[in-house]
Amino acid sequence: MTALTRPAPPFSRRRWQLAPGLVFTSLVLVLMGGGLLALILRADSGPSELWQSPYLQGVIRFTAWQASLSVIGSLLIAIPIARALVRQPDLPGRAGLLRLMEMSLVMPTIVAVSGLVAVYGRRGWLAEVTEWAGGSLPWNLYGISGILLAHIFFNAPLAARVMVQTLERVPVSQRRAASQLGLGSWQLWRVLDWPALRPVMPGLAALVFSLCFTSFAIVVTLGGGPGATTIEVAIYQALRFEFDFNRAALLAFVQLLICGGLWWLVFRKNRHQAVLPDQSSSTDTGSLRADSAGWRRTTDRALIGLFALFLALPVLAIALRGVPWLARELTNPRLALWDATFRSLAIALPAGLLAVAITLALLAATSALKPGLPRSLASVSGYLPLIVPPIVLGTGLFLLIQPRLGIQGYGLTVVALINSLMALPFTLQVLRGPFQAMGTPALRVADQLDIRGWYRWRWLQWPRLKRPLALALGYGITLSLGDFGVIALFGSPAQPTLPMLLHQQLGSYQVAAATGTACWLLIFIAALFTLLSRPGRVASRSAMRDTGVTHTGVPHA
């Protein structure tokens, strides 16, 4: 044959695509299985405690109860907000609000809690206003009301964001037809909105349910006593204070069963599309809805304004109270904040990088495998951390590493590793689409030209993945920076990370210091995202310049 003796591209063998992903898949599965097994083996009594202990039953009931209420509350708020946002595409500040709604993905729960306390707590803004008016707050933030408030604060915007995205994907032709027919609000709901939303609702409800079901930081700070404890918190208490492995194993099992069963139902019905917002934005601005004008315009704006206020107030409270404290204290080199910052970074940077690496490996393996069990395992293993309690992963890891090595800073290594696994569902969501964006035609051209292995990555994947990679890295680092669940289990209170420090400050009523720490963490995360989104901006600017040249410079040949 002619001139086809060129050596194969580097790393073009199939095993290079498969091996890393399969290794990580097995790692996740082994950690899970090993962790569960270890917990069971350490347990000295059987599962009978589950139906004998009123405490455990109370915990499980409360966990399910608050999660269900949170789902209902979040979705009931999200639907009208999403519809109002779709009805008012020209609203000033709409894009900013949509960004603010995505913030709940990256805002550390403990920071949000401190913001909510600063607004709705006993000494918060609202209390000041009511006292000034001569009344007193009609609620207590600690307990179910605070938990629900925080869960809705996190999940209503997330749900609404996904719904806006779903509604904007309704084909323009359908929307224009509805517009010409002059359909009213109720008819639009029946004809356009609900049919579009229905397929994402089960996945969305399952996502919000499992996020609230496995909620830790919110419950541990806002929940009080045995009456308001979730499974994750109970596991934490069982291990940290009571050394009751049996109870921890039982609770972990129950959580896995309930959340796993829920997701199994959702996946079985194949209704799992797009339950996290992606980076797409609507291009349609034209099709007017008959229900978007007149008095509705006013009510929509009021509704959106209230919602924006609900989201912005805690952030504002943190900023207004935190900045002065920071300005005063930051010059103090012996501030606990500095140590905590370095410790947080030492965990979060490796965790973020590892999360992105694992995500790429999983995606590469998934796309190289034919449908079958290994591929299902590879694609599911990245989502398992949504439902697997970190304690299970941590115990598995403990078993894998501990007996053989005496690693310095073992706790922090474990935390970084588990954090990277916990970030996988989010990094996967960011990278999956762009990674799989090469369609059949492009793949065929690439195959024919022998652009495989390293060359395919270098020339075809990397240029298009740069921006999503930076974003995924941002998510990975941020989730780890804000982590409180894993560090609470494996960290030492004497060596706190930023969220731990914040929790300690909240717990000892150092409100000023707490808001300062929260503010510092927020500034940090904002700076991180600004930094990581820069290569993308540079790239798009140069793309614009290129377009300019074609239009002005070179004559059409």
Partner 1 sequence: MLEIDDLLFRYPGQAPDTPGWHFNVGIREGECVALTGPSGCGKSTLLNLVAGFLAPAGGDMRWQGQNLGPLPPWQRPVTTVFQEQNLFDHLTVAENVGLGLHPGLRLSKTQWSRIEAALETVNLGGLHNQRAGNLSGGQRQRVAVVRALLRPQPVLLLDEPMTGLDDENRTILQDLLLQARDQGKTLALVSHDIRDRQALADREVSDFFQPW
Q: Toward partner 1, which CB reaches closer, 404 or 556? A: 556
What span, in angstroms and rounded, lies between the C-alpha atoms of 144 and 138?
Answer: 14
Q: Is 460 in the site for partner 1 (CB under 8 A)?
A: yes
Question: Could you tell me how many residues make up the chain?
Answer: 557
Does residue number 370 form part of the binding site for partner 1 (CB under 8 A)?
Answer: no
Q: Are 155 and 212 in contact (CB under 8 A)?
A: yes
Choices 28-36, 196-204, 481-489, 544-552 (CB under 8 A): range interacting with partner 1? 544-552
Binding of partner 1 by 469 (CB under 8 A): no
Q: Does 371 bind partner 1 (CB under 8 A)?
A: no
Stretch binding partner 1 (CB under 8 A), from 5-13, 35-43, 152-160, 237-245: 5-13
Q: Let me know: does 127 contact 46? Beta carbons within 8 Å.
A: no
d(CA 169, CA 174): 11
* Min dist. Cβ of residue 464 to partner 1 (A): 6
Buried b (16+ CB within 10 A) or exposed e, 434-453: bbeebeeeeeeebeeeebbb
3-state DSSP helix/strand/coil percent for the chain, to nearest 5?
A: 75, 0, 25
Q: Using the CB atoms, write b or e for 479-508: b if 16+ within 10 Å.
A: bbbbbbbbbbbbbeeeebbbbbbbbbbbee
CB of 280 to partner 1, least distance (A): 18
Q: Is 464 in the site for partner 1 (CB under 8 A)?
A: yes
Q: Site mask, partner 1, residues 70-89, x = CB under 8 A?
A: --------------------
At 433, which amino acid appears?
A: G
- Residue among 492 and 540 whose Cβ is closer to partner 1: 540
Least distance (Å) between residue 447 CB and partner 1: 4
Is residue 3 a contact residue for partner 1 (CB under 8 A)? Answer: yes
Contact 102, 277 (CB under 8 A): yes
Could you say which of 334, 370, 404, 556 contacts partner 1 (CB under 8 A)? 556
- Among residue numbers 429 through 458, which ones bind partner 1 (CB under 8 A)? 439, 441-442, 444-445, 447-452, 454-455, 458
16 binds partner 1, rule: CB under 8 A: no
**Cβ 210 vs Cβ 263: under 8 Å:** yes
Q: Give φ, ψ of 82 to 5 degrees.
A: -65, -45
The 3-state secondary structure of 89-108 reads CCCCCHHHHHHHHHHHHCCC
CB of 542 to partner 1, least distance (A): 9
Nearer to partner 1, 133 or 554 (CB): 554
139 binds partner 1 (CB under 8 A): no
* CB of 533 vs partner 1, minimal distance in Å: 18
Nearer to partner 1, 461 or 478 (CB): 461
CA distance linking residue 3 with residue 242, whole number of Å: 72
Instruction: Say if CB 207 and CB 214 are below 8 A apart.
Output: no
Residues contacting partner 1: total by CB under 8 A: 33
C-beta of 173: minimal distance to partner 1 in Å? Answer: 23
Lookup: tokens for 360 = 């790429």
Tell me: does residue 541 bind partner 1 (CB under 8 A): no
Of 494 and 549, the one with the shorter C-beta distance to partner 1 is 549
Tokens 């629900």 appear where?
148
> Least distance from C-beta 434 to partner 1, angstroms?
12
Helix (H, G, I), strand (E, B) or coil at 383: coil
Q: Which is nearer to partner 1, 407 or 442 (CB)?
A: 442
Q: Which is nearer to partner 1, 225 or 441 (CB)?
A: 441
Contact assessment for residue 399 and residue 479, using Cβ atoms and an 8 Å cutoff: no
Least separation in angstroms between CB 431 and partner 1: 17
The residue whose two tokens read 């912005």 is 312
Question: What residues between 396 and 415 interact with partner 1 by CB under 8 A?
Answer: none
What SS3 string covers 185-242?
HHHHHHHHHHHHHHHHHHHHHHHHHHHHHCCCHHHHHHCCCHHHCCHHHHHHHHHHHH
CB-nearer residue toward partner 1: 293 or 442: 442
7 binds partner 1 (CB under 8 A): no
Report, in Å, the least distance between residue 453 CB and partner 1. 9
Where along the sequence are the contacts to partner 1 (CB under 8 A)? Answer: 1-4, 6, 9-10, 439, 441-442, 444-445, 447-452, 454-455, 458-460, 463-464, 543, 546-547, 549-550, 554, 556-557
